[in-house]
Amino acid sequence: MKNSKSYALLQELSANSYDLTQDKALKGRFESMKSSALGIDYVYACQRLNEEVVDALQGLADETDAVTQFSRMMGGENMNKIDGFECEDRQVLHTAMRDVFDDLPEGFLSDQEAVNGAKAEIAKLKTFCDEIENGTILNAKGEKFNEMILVGIGGSDLGPRAVYLALKAYAVEGRKVHFISNVDPDDAAAVLIDADLERSLVCVISKSGSTLETLTNETLVASNFEAAGLNPKDHFVCVTGKGSPMDNPDKYLRSFYMFDYVGGRYSVTSMVGAVMLSFGLGYDNFINFLRGARKIDLNSQNRDVRKNLPLLMALIGIWNRNFLDHETLAVLPYSQALSRFAAHLQQCDMESNGKRVNRQGETVDFATGPIVWGEPGTNGQHAFYQLIHQSETVVPCDFIGFAKSQYQKDLDVKGTSSQQKLLANLIAQSIGLATGKTSDNPNKVFPGNRPNSMLFAEQLTPEIMGALLALYENKIAFQGFVWNINSFDQEGVQLGKVLANEIIDIFTGQDVEAENAKEYLKTLGL
Ligand X SMILES: O=P(O)(O)OC[C@H]1O[C@](O)(CO)[C@@H](O)[C@@H]1O
Q: Is 216 in the site for ligand X (CB under 6 A)?
A: no
Tell me how far the alpha carbon of residue 96 is from its chain's centroid: 17
Q: Does 475 participate in binding ligand X (rule CB under 6 A)?
A: no
Torsion angle of the four alpha carbons 489, 493, 494, 499, in this order, in degrees rounded to the nearest 10? 180
Q: Which stretch binds ligand X (CB under 6 A): 200-208, 299-307, 364-372, 411-419?
A: 200-208
Question: Does residue number 333 form part of the binding site for ligand X (CB under 6 A)?
Answer: no
CB of 157 to ligand X, least distance (A): 8
H or E, element range at 179: strand 176-180
With binding defined as CB under 6 A, does residue 211 bind ligand X? yes
432 binds ligand X (CB under 6 A): no
Count residues binding ligand X (CB under 6 A).
Answer: 14
Rounded Cα gap, residues 341 and 333, in angstroms: 8
Per annotation, catalytic residue among 382, 409, 414, 522: 382
Nearer Cβ to ligand X (214/358):
214
Q: How far is the CB of 341 from ligand X (least distance, A)?
A: 16
- Cβ-based nearer residue to ligand X, 35 or 479: 479
Among the listed residues 121, 213, 218, 351, the single catalytic one is 351
Q: Which of 35, 69, 80, 156 binds ligand X (CB under 6 A)?
A: 156
Q: Rounded CA gap, 252 and 124, in Å?
A: 15
Site for ligand X in 493-522 (CB under 6 A): 493
Work out which of 154, 160, 273, 317 binds ligand X, going by CB under 6 A.
154
For ligand X, the closer of residues 60 and 203 by Cβ is 203
Which regions of 20-133 does DSSP assign to beta strands (E)? 34-37, 40-43, 78-80, 90-91
Q: Report in angstroms how near the CB of residue 413 gets to ligand X at its nearest.
A: 43
Q: Could you give the CA distance from residue 340 to residue 382 in angstroms, rounded to a whole number?
A: 18
Q: Contact between 206 and ligand X (CB under 6 A)?
A: yes
Complex with ligand X: residue 214 or 322, whichever CB lies closer: 214
Q: How far is the CB of 61 from ligand X (least distance, A)?
A: 27
Minimal distance, residue 1 CB to ligand X, in Å = 25
Residues 163-182 touching ligand X, rule: CB under 6 A, are none
For residue 301, state whether it binds ligand X (rule: CB under 6 A).
Answer: no
The single residue among 117, 155, 160, 292 that binds ligand X, judged by CB under 6 A, is 155
Q: Which is nearer to ligand X, 153 or 315 (CB)?
A: 153
Q: How big is the chain, counted in residues?
A: 526
CB of 203 to ligand X, least distance (A): 13
Q: Which of 267, 270, 269, 239 is nearest to 253 (CA)?
A: 239
Residue (123 or 212) nearer to ligand X, CB: 212
Task: Select the residue interacting with ligand X from 29, 48, 94, 207 (CB under 6 A).
Answer: 207
Q: Identify which of 260, 214, 222 has the alpha carbon closest to the alpha carbon of residue 497.
A: 214
Is 473 among the catalytic positions?
no
323, 324, 328, 331: CA torsion to nearest 10: -100
For 151, the enclosing helix (H) or strand (E) is strand 147-151
Binding ligand X by CB under 6 A: which of 61, 153, 337, 471? 153
Asked if 497 is an active-site residue, the reply is yes
Shortest distance (Å) from residue 155 CB to ligand X:
3
DSSP annotation string for 510-524: -----HHHHHHHHHT
Residue 340 DSSP SS3: coil
For residue 340, state whether it binds ligand X (rule: CB under 6 A): no
Is residue 344 part of the annotated active site? The answer reads no
Pick from 408, 416, 61, 98: nearest CA to 270: 98
What is the C-alpha to C-alpha distance for residues 81 and 85, in angstroms, rounded to an integer? Answer: 8
Question: Which CA distances in Å does 219 have to 211, 213, 398?
Answer: 12, 10, 40
Dump the DSSP string for 207-264.
SSS--HHHHHHHHHHHHHHHHTT--GGGTEEEEEETTSTT--GGGSSEEEEE-TTS-G
| Angle in degrees, 0-180, between the axes of helices 494-507 and 212-227, rounded to the nearest 10 | 50
The residues in 254-283 that bind ligand X, with binding defined as CB under 6 A, are 264-265
- DSSP structure string for 265-295: GG-TTSHHHHHHHHHHH-HHHHHHHHHHHHH
Q: From the CB of 494, what's the least distance to ligand X, in Å?
A: 8
> Which residues have a catalytic role annotated?
351, 382, 497
Contacting positions for ligand X (CB under 6 A):
153-156, 206-208, 211, 214, 264-265, 351, 490, 493
